[in-house]
Chain A
Amino acid sequence: MQDQLSALLARARADFSALHTRPEFEAAKARLVGPNGGLTTLMKQMGTVPKEQRPALGRLINEAKAQLQALFDTTLRALEDAEIAAQLGPPVDASLPSPDGGPGTHHPLTLVCEEMCRILRKVGFTVADGSEVETEFYCFDALNTPPGHPSRDVKDTFYFPDTARFGNVSRRVDGEKYLLRTHTSSVQIRTMLKHPPPVRIVSPGRTFRRDTTDATHSANFHQLECLYVDKDVTVRDLKALLDYIFASLLGPDTKTRFRPHYFGYTEPSFEVDLSARHLPKVNKEWIEIGGCGMVDPSVYEAVGYDPAAWTGYAFGMGLERLAMMLYGIDDIRYFYQNDLRFLRQFA
C-alpha cells in the first residue's frame, strides 16, 4: 500500500507538471481524487486491511492527501498566473502618450466670469440672466437715459428694423424699438420689475456697442453687473463690496479707490480704480476697472420701487478688460479667434 501511494504521488507530480489548461487540470484531479480516482480506489481498500494496520495506513493516506492537495494548489495557482499573463499581454510603455487628447479647456472669459460669480455668490448674490435683444425701455428709459440721449444714438447702438418681431422678448411700450443691449443693466430692470425688493443679483452677459473693432475695442463684448437693493444700503457698503471682490480676486492687500464720476442711473457715481501692483504688463499705480454708484431714485420710480424706502448700489465692469488685466492679454480680438494656443493657456 505504501508503495502504491508513493507511486501514485510520483505519477501525479509528473502529470501535473505537464498541465496547461484548467480542463486538463480538472481531469487529472479527477483521476486521483474523483469517484474512480487512484487515491479514492486506495482509500476504498482500507476496509480490507487488518484492523491493527489501519491507523498507520490512515496516516499514510492522509499524508498523501495533504501532499496531493498541495500539488493541486500550486498547479492551480500556476495555471491562474499563466491565464492572467495571457490576458495581460506584454507590459505597457508608460512613456507613450495617450491618443485620447484632452484636456478640454474653458474659455478665459468663462473662467473670469465664473470666478467673479463664485466670489459674489459667497456674499449672497445670485446669477441672473436676460435676453441680448432688448427694447428701448429696458435698456435706456428705465435707466434714466431719456430719448435724445447720446448713448441712444443710432451711431452707438445697434437697432432692429421696426418690422422685427421677437417672440420671447417682451416690450413695455407699444411700438418701442428692439435693439441689442448696450449693457446688462437691462437684466436689473427686468429683475426689479418681476421681484419686489430686496434683490441681490449679478448679471454677466454679452453686450453690444456700435464700435470699431481694434486691439482694445470690440462691438461684441461681455459685462458683469451687480445690483443690491435693500433697506439702508450705503456708499460705505458699496466700497466694502468692491474691496471684498478685488481682495478675493487678487489678494488681500489689493486696494480700490473711488473717483467721482457720472452715470445717469446712479447718484452718486464713481469710477473704480484698482491698485495694479499684482497685475502683469501694467506700469501704473492704479488701473480703472469699472463704474459704480448708488442706484438713482429715478430707476426705482421706473420699476415701481419706493425711492424713499429703498436704497441700493450697482457696479459694472467689462469682463474682457478684467481678463486682459489678470492674464496680461494685450489684444481683445484674441478672445474671439479661439486659437487653440490661446485657449490652452488658461485651462
Chain B
Amino acid sequence: MKVSLHWLKSYVALDASVDEITHAITFLGFEVEQVIRTGVPPLPSVVVGEVLTRDKHPNADKLTVCTVDVGSAGGVKTIVCGAPNHQVGDRVPVALPGAVLAGGLKIKQSRIRGQLSDGMMCSPDELGLGGGSAGQQSGLLILDGRPALGTPINDVLPPGDVVFDLEITPNRPDGLCHLGVARELAAWFRRDLVYPPVKFTGLPEDSPERRDLLAGVSVESDEDCPLYTVHIITGVKIGPSPAWLQERLAAVGLRPINNVVDAGNYVMLETGQPVHAFDAKKIGGGRIVVRHARQGEKLATLDGKERVLNSRMLVIADATKPLVIAGIMGGANAEVDDTTTDLALEVAYFKPAGIRWTSRKLGLTTDSSYRYERGVDPHTLLEDAHRAIDLILETAGGRVVGPVYKVGEDRPWKNEITLTPDFVRRQLGFHIADGDMKDALEALELPLVRDEFTADGTPQWTVSIPSWRGDLDRSIDLVEEILRLYGTDRIPRSTVTAPGLLGDDDPVVIFNRQATDYLVGQHFHECVNYTLRSVTEIRQWVSDTSVQELALANPFVEDQSHLRSTLLIGLLESLKLNQSRGTGVTRLSETGRVFIESNGQIYECAAAAFIEAQTKDAGRQWLKRAPADFYTAKNRVHILASHAGVDLSALPAAPVTGPYFGWQEGHSAAVGGLQTHGFEARFGLMNLAMVRALGIEGQVMAGIFAILPGKLAAAGGPRRYQDFSHYPPVLRDLALVVDAAVLAEDVRHTLAQTAKSVVGDAFTVEQVAIFDVYQGRGLPEGKKSLAFSLVFRATDRTLTDDEVNAAFAKIQKAITADGRTSVRA
C-alpha cells in the first residue's frame, strides 16, 4: 500500500527526515518496500533566470555561451550550456554555484573548453522531476508564466512528495490508510494526531425526504453484511475534482476519475473505509437489495469484463438486477457519469471471509476488496460516511436529503484489557519503568481508564482498546505494543542460558547423518532432489497402483504432481544432468523421505540411496580398477541398514520382480518388506533398457534402504559383553557340488546347521563362510561347486586334530545324505 508523506503531514506534524520516517515505519512493524520521491525536492540556490544572449561556443559545436539574468539572486551570469532548446527571452531554472541538484551534482564555477561558466541551467531531470532520459534529450525546462527573476525554484514548481510503499501485516487492517499510518507515526514521534475537520454530522431535522430517489434498502444476508448505510445526495455537479485531491490520489497511484468517485477513494485512502456512490437514477425500481447473486447471474463490471456470479457471492442489486459485486467492484450499469445529479452513497461493512472467497473465485482484487478482506472497522462507519459527504459537497456541490438508510446492527464498541506492569517486565525479561509503559500505550491511543492496585499491592491497569484495534485482545498483545514503542533496539544483550534437558536427536536425524557420512566417505556426492515427481516417472519406475495413491489434489505444475516413493528417480535425473554437462560424476547419493504404498496405504519412510554409473569414460584411467558390481551395491546397502540398526545378512535376498519396477531381473535383489519387517532394501543393477531410455550412458548400480521412522526408533538396545575363547582355532575347507540353481546361502545355511548339530556342545563352529564358487570344466553339466571354510574352536582347550577330523568326517557324511549334494574330491 502506498502512502504519501505530504498527505500524512495533514494529520501529524512530521519534521523528521525521510530516513528517520522510514526507520520509524520499519520499527513500528510495517515493512517499507520502496521509498519513491516525486516532484521537486528542496533545491536552495536554484532560481529563475532569463536568457539574455545565446552565442555559439567558440571551441565546441554543440555548446552555447549564454548570459543569464537571475535578478536579485546575483545579476547577470555567463553560463555555458549544452542544451538545444533554449532561446533568448526564455525563463529557465538556474543552479548557482553552491547548489546541489537532485542527482547529487554540485554546481561550482568552472571553465568549459576555455569559457568561464558561472552556474548551470537545468533540465527537468536535473531538478528531480523525473521523465528519465527523454527529459534529458528535450533540453532545459522552460518555465511558463514568466515567474519573477531570482525567485527560488521551489516557489515556482510543485513541491516534492515522498511516497512510501508499505507492506501492512494482516493483523493491522487499521494500517491500510493514511490516518492509520499517521496514528502510528504520531505515536512514534510523540506528536498529536489531528483528525480531519467534520462538517456534516447527521441529517438536519428540516431536510426533505426524497423517497422518489430511493424508496428502500433491504439486506437479505445480514450474515455477510451486518451493517449497510445509504445517504442520498441530490443536485451534485459531476466534474473533475480539485487539483489538490487529484494530486493526492495520483501520488499513491490512483487515477482521478471525477469529483464524486475521487472523494470516495480519498475517504478510503484516508480512513480505510471503502465508499461506493451510485447514480440514484440508475437504481431500477428505486430499491437497493443486498442479496446473494443468483446462480449464473451476470454483471459487466467497471473494468469492462463480464462476470458470471454464483449464489455464494454477495451483490448490491436493484429491484431486478445486480449493480455491484458487494465490496469488490461496481457494475457499469449504475456508474456515476457526467450526467449524474443524484447520488446514493453506500458505506457498508461486509464480512472478510465472503469477500475473500468471492475475490479469489473471480480473480478480482481491488483496493476495496483488499480492505474488506482484512477487515474494516464497522464502528467508525457512519463517521466515515459523514467525511465522504463533506468531501462530495465540497467538490461536487449538492445537498443531503432524507431518508438516511441504516440497515443492521450498530453495536457500541467496548473492549478493555487489564495489565500489570510486572507481567510486561516478566515477558520481556528486562526493566521498563511504569511511566515508559504508560507513555507508550497512551501514544498509541490506548488510554488507561483505570490505574489501581491489586489485593497484593501491585499496580494494575485497565487499558481501553479502540474499535480499530481488533487485534488487541489479551495482555500479551499489549506487551508487543509497549515493546514496539519502547524500541526493539533497546532489548539488552545477554547470554544464552541452557538447561540440561534429557533427550537426544531424533533417530531419523541420526540415521540420515550416518548414512550420508558413510556414502560421502565412499566418494559419493550427496544430492537433494524434489519430493514431487511426475506421474510418468511414478508409473514407469514405481507402479501403476501407486500413481493414484501418491497424487496431490492440487499440483501446481504438471511434472510435480506425485510424491516420490524412491530416491532413485531423482538421482538418475541428477546423473543425466551431469552426464549431459560433462562433469564426469559417477557416484551420487541422497537421504530423505519417501512414500511407499503398502496394502493400500502410503507409509512415509526415511531412506538412503545411491547410484554408481559404469561408463566407458569412467574406465579411462591410467591404472585400472575393478568396476563396482552387484556385490558392491549389496555391501553398501547392508552398511546403510546397519546404521539403522538392521542386520540384512540375517534375511534372505529375493530377486526383484513384480510391482517394484526399474531393476534388472537376475542382477538385483530385495530384502525385507514394509509390512513384514518395517523396512525394505533393494540393490543391484538398474534396468538397462529403462536407464538407456532416460538418456543415461552406461550401466547403473544402485541401492536403496527405506525404513519406517517408528521402526528406526525401536532399533538398537543396550550392548552386553560376551566372553570369547583364548584358544586357537582349527580350520577345515570343504567344497560341495550342488545344482547350479541352488542359492549359495541356502547351502551355506544347511552346512552351518549340519556342522552345529554334529559338533553339539563339544566345541563351537565359529564360522562357515563361502570362499569360492566354481562352475564349468571338471563338473557335471548343471552343477556348481561351492567351497566353504569352516572354523572350529573350543572355549576351554586347544582342539586336537583327531576330534576335529572326526567331526569333519561326520559333517561331510551328514551334508551329502540328501543325495543332491556331494563332496568335491
Contact = CB atoms under 8 A, between A and B. Distances in A.
Nearest to B488: A258
Interface stretch (B39-47, B208-216, B619-627, B696-704): B619-627
A181 B27 CA distance: 31
Contact of B577 (A164, A260, A337): A337
A167 B554 contact: no
B525 A168 contact: no
Interface in A114-156: 114, 117, 121-124, 126-129, 131-133, 148, 150, 153-155
A99 interface: yes
A150 B26 CA distance: 24
Contact of B560 (A128, A132, A219): A219
Contacts of B360: 153, 155
Nearest to A121: B505
Contacts of A208: 531-532
Interface in B519-567: 519-532, 549, 551-557, 560, 563
A132 to B, nearest CB: 5
A161 B561 CA distance: 12
B327 to A, nearest CB: 16
A240 B27 contact: no
Contact of A297 (B429, B476, B585): B476
A240 B557 CA distance: 42
A106 interface: yes
Interface string A261-282: 1100001111100000000000
B426 to A, nearest CB: 7
B110 interface: no
Interface string B620-636: 01111100000000000
Nearest to B526: A107
B353 A129 contact: no
Given A104-B523, A106-B526, A270-B488, A167 B598 contact: yes
Contacts of B557: 213, 219
Interface stretch (B382-390, B492-500, B761-769): B492-500
Given A104-B519, A158-B555, A270-B488, A131 B604 contact: yes
A240 B498 CA distance: 11
Interface stretch (B166-174, B289-297, B304-312, B400-408): B166-174
Interface stretch (A2-10, A16-24, A42-50, A338-346): A338-346
Contact of B506 (A106, A110, A129, A268): A129
Interface stretch (B9-17, B335-343, B478-486): B478-486
A236 B491 contact: yes
Contacts of A103: 520, 523
Nearest to A199: B501
Contacts of A220: 530-532, 560
B494 A127 contact: no
A240 B496 CA distance: 6
A240 B493 contact: yes
A234 B531 contact: no
Given A96-B622, A154-B554, A168-B709, A262 B492 contact: no
Nearest to A102: B523
B520 A104 contact: yes
Contacts of B513: 114
A211 B556 contact: yes
A83 interface: no
Interface in A196-237: 198-200, 206, 208, 210-213, 219-220, 230, 232, 234-237
Nearest to B551: A161
Contacts of A234: 426-430
Interface in B582-598: 583-589, 592-593, 595, 598
Contacts of A257: 488-489
Nearest to B555: A158
B395 interface: no
Contacts of A91: none
B686 interface: no
A268 B603 contact: no
Contact of A129 (B491, B530, B709): B709
A159 interface: yes
Contact of B587 (A101, A261, A296): A101
B523 A100 contact: yes
A246 interface: no
Interface string B452-492: 00000000000000000000001011011001100011011
A219 B28 contact: no
B314 to A, nearest CB: 16
Contacts of A184: none
A335 B556 CA distance: 20
Interface in A319-340: 335-340
B163 interface: no
B781 interface: no
A222 to B, nearest CB: 8
A25 interface: no
Contacts of B586: 101
Contacts, number: 252
Given A206-B592, A234-B429, A244 B496 contact: yes
Interface in B263-300: none
Given A236-B428, A259-B27, A267 B598 contact: no
Nearest to B548: A163
A241 interface: yes
Interface residues of B, number: 98
A219 B601 contact: no
Contacts of B495: 240, 244
Nearest to B619: A99
B491 A258 contact: yes
Interface in A55-103: 96-97, 99-103
Contacts of B498: 122-124, 200
B476 A169 contact: no
B503 interface: yes
Interface in B615-667: 621-625
B820 to A, nearest CB: 43
B369 interface: no
Contacts of A159: 552-554
A262 B167 CA distance: 11
Given A158-B552, A206-B531, A311 B427 contact: yes
Given A107-B527, A132-B593, A236-B491, A167 B353 contact: no
B429 A236 contact: yes
B505 A127 contact: yes
Nearest to B476: A267
Nearest to B430: A236
A118 to B, nearest CB: 11
B526 A167 contact: no
A11 interface: no
A177 B694 CA distance: 35
Nearest to B374: A150
19 contacts: A99-B622, A106-B526, A128-B506, A133-B604, A153-B360, A166-B603, A167-B598, A219-B560, A220-B531, A234-B427, A235-B427, A235-B430, A239-B494, A258-B489, A260-B28, A260-B488, A271-B31, A297-B474, A341-B581
Interface of A: 96-97, 99-107, 109-110, 114, 117, 121-124, 126-129, 131-133, 148, 150, 153-155, 158-161, 164-169, 180, 195, 198-200, 206, 208, 210-213, 219-220, 230, 232, 234-237, 239-241, 243-244, 257-262, 267-271, 294, 296-297, 311, 335-341, 343-344
Given A103-B523, A210-B556, 20 more contacts: A99-B625, A101-B586, A110-B528, A127-B506, A154-B554, A158-B552, A158-B555, A161-B551, A164-B602, A166-B601, A168-B709, A235-B427, A236-B491, A237-B429, A239-B494, A260-B28, A260-B484, A268-B480, A337-B574, A338-B525
Interface of B: 26-29, 31, 169-172, 353, 356, 360, 426-430, 474, 476-477, 479-480, 483-484, 488-489, 491-501, 503-506, 508-509, 513, 516, 519-532, 549, 551-557, 560, 563, 574, 577-578, 581, 583-589, 592-593, 595, 598-604, 621-625, 708-710
3 closest A-B pairs by beta carbon, nearest first, are A234-B429, A236-B429, A260-B29
